[in-house]
Amino acid sequence: MIIEKAYAKINLALEVMDIKDGYHLVNNLMIPIDLYDEISFEKSNNIELVNNEFLDNIILKAANMFIDKYKINSGVKMVLKKNIPSAAGLAGGSSDAAATLRGLNRLFGNIATKEELLEMGAMLGSDVPFFIDMKLALCVGRGEIVLPYDISYEPFNILLIKPETGLSTKEVYKAYKYNGDDKKEKIDNIINALKYCDIFSLKQNIFNDLTRVALSLNNQLENIYNDLKTKTDIYLSGSGPTMFIINPTDTIKNYCKKAYPTCFVKECKVL
């Protein structure tokens, strides 16, 4: 049996630009966090996923793609232990897909190159290639081109807060309008802040172009965000609705748990 961990991510920068070939171009700076799903793999007669909540699951798509591509004369039984909230802006589904490709590659003797895994990942979804390596990276194009940063940085804590109600990534992007601002300097500032362990500068430069649109589409998200914004720095991950706070104080952690008992509230660490 093979077991793979599928780590979630947060966005330290999400610059969303004009549409090309039906997709928004992005400069998406992502970093993995230590919240993860687990998927186990063992050979079987059929391709099956245990604990499958969705009929059109990306894990099954990834498994079928891999087995078809390499003409493998076997099926696989996969068991999913889900810890990352769905439709949260944490890319749990994309990470699951990448973990499936990695897990099957190990199960069947490492027959795929890294480049082939990246290519298959891009066919499954824009965020999937990032999770093949799971390292701090700027993802460009529609997000499928991964440019990793080979720098050392001190891990820091984050507090995740996800409202009960979700958001459609498609609807958030559809409502977004690009204003033409260039944010390359802010992305460079974030990288330097990580490199020099400057948390103050990091907080000053993190941005997400989808924040305003996401808030306008979800009243619960907007109310929680505005409340917490009066108490600390808070940021949106991806297209939402999960928010995060960097190095939260005990006071903030206790407040979030008491004020929002129905939300997903969890402290994690960046990897």
Hey, which residues are catalytic here? 9, 127
Q: Which of 217, 208, 219, 271 is nearest to 244 (CA)?
A: 208
Angle at 23 between CA 17 and CA 27, to 5 degrees: 40
Cβ 139 vs Cβ 146: under 8 Å: yes
Strands (E), 145-248: 145-148, 157-162, 207-208, 235-236, 243-246
Distances in Å between the Cα of 271 and the Cα atoms of 30, 66, 136, 158, 240 are 11, 28, 9, 11, 21
Residue 230: how many other CB atoms lie within 10 Å:
7
CA contacts within 13 A on the Cβ side of 18: 4
Residues in the chain: 271
